[in-house]
C-alpha cells in the first residue's frame, strides 16, 4: 500500500494512520489533500510508482495532516473513502464513546497500584460473560504454588532455589 504510514498531525505527539490500498483511494486522498494532480503524476499513478517515490508521497500527505487534528484528518479521510485512524492516547481511549458503551475498561484493585483500569475482553458473549476476579499478579507472587503444585517440588528444593538466587 502507498501511502501507508502514520502521519504527524497538529498538536503534541498526535498522529493519523492512513493506508491507500487501491488507486481509487489514492486518487481520493490526492484530491482531499488539495493535490489532485498527484494522482496523474507518473511518480504516483501506480502502486509501484508510489512505492518508488514514497518519501515524496509521504511528505505531501504529512504537509496536509500537520495542519489538522488527528481525529479531523481521520474523519475527512474516512468520508472520502480513504482508510484512516487517529492514533489515540490513553486519555482518548478512556473518553472513547464506543469503548465506554461496551464497558471495555474494568477497574480492579491491584496490591501495588491500588484501584486501576485494565482492558476487558474485546468481545462480549451473552451466554458466557467475562468475569474479572483478580488483577495481574505481582512478580513471583505464584512461584511457590507453581513449584509445588505444577512441578511437584518439595519445600526444601524451592528454598534452595531461592537461596541460590534462581527464584525471586
* Structural domain containing residue 60: 4-87
Looking at the domain assignment, is residue 41 inside a domain? yes
Cβ-in-10-Å burial (0-12, 13-18, 19+) of 82 comes to: buried
Same domain flag for 83 and 141: no
In a domain, 57, yes or no: yes
Domain final position from 48, 72, 87:
87
pTM of the model as a whole: 0.73
* Grid cell of 144 as nine digits: 511457590
- Predicted confidence at residue 92, as pLDDT, reads 93
| Domain membership flag for residue 103 | no
Convert the pLDDT of each residue in 98-120 to its tens digit.
999 988 999 999 999 999 999 99
Residues of the chain with pLDDT under 50: none
Q: Is residue 123 part of a domain?
A: no
> Is residue 166, in this structure, part of any structural domain at all?
yes
Number of domains observed in the structure of the chain: 2
77, 8: one domain = yes
Residue written as cell 512505492?
51
Distance separating alpha carbons of residues 58 and 16, to the nearest angstrom: 12
CB-CB contact of 6 with 61 (8 Å): no
> Is 63 contained in some domain?
yes
Amino acid at each position: 500500500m502507498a501511502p501507508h504510514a502514520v502521519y504527524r498531525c497538529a498538536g503534541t505527539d498526535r498522529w493519523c494512520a492512513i493506508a491507500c490500498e487501491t488507486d481509487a483511494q489514492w486518487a481520493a486522498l490526492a484530491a482531499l489533500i488539495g493535490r489532485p494532480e498527484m494522482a496523474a503524476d507518473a511518480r504516483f499513478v501506480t502502486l509501484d510508482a508510489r512505492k518508488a517515490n514514497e518519501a515524496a508521497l509521504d511528505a505531501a500527505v504529512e504537509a496536509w495532516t500537520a495542519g489538522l487534528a488527528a481525529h479531523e484528518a481521520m474523519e475527512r479521510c474516512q468520508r472520502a473513502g480513504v482508510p484512516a485512524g487517529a492514533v489515540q492516547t490513553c486519555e482518548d481511549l478512556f473518553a472513547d464513546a464506543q469503548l465506554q458503551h461496551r464497558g471495555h475498561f474494568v477497574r480492579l484493585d491491584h496490591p501495588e497500584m491500588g484501584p486501576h483500569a485494565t482492558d476487558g475482553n474485546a468481545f462480549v458473549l451473552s451466554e458466557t460473560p467475562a468475569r474479572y476476579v483478580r488483577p495481574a499478579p505481582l512478580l513471583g507472587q505464584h512461584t511457590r504454588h507453581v513449584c509445588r503444585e505444577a512441578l511437584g517440588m518439595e519445600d526444601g528444593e524451592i528454598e534452595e532455589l531461592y537461596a541460590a538466587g534462581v527464584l525471586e
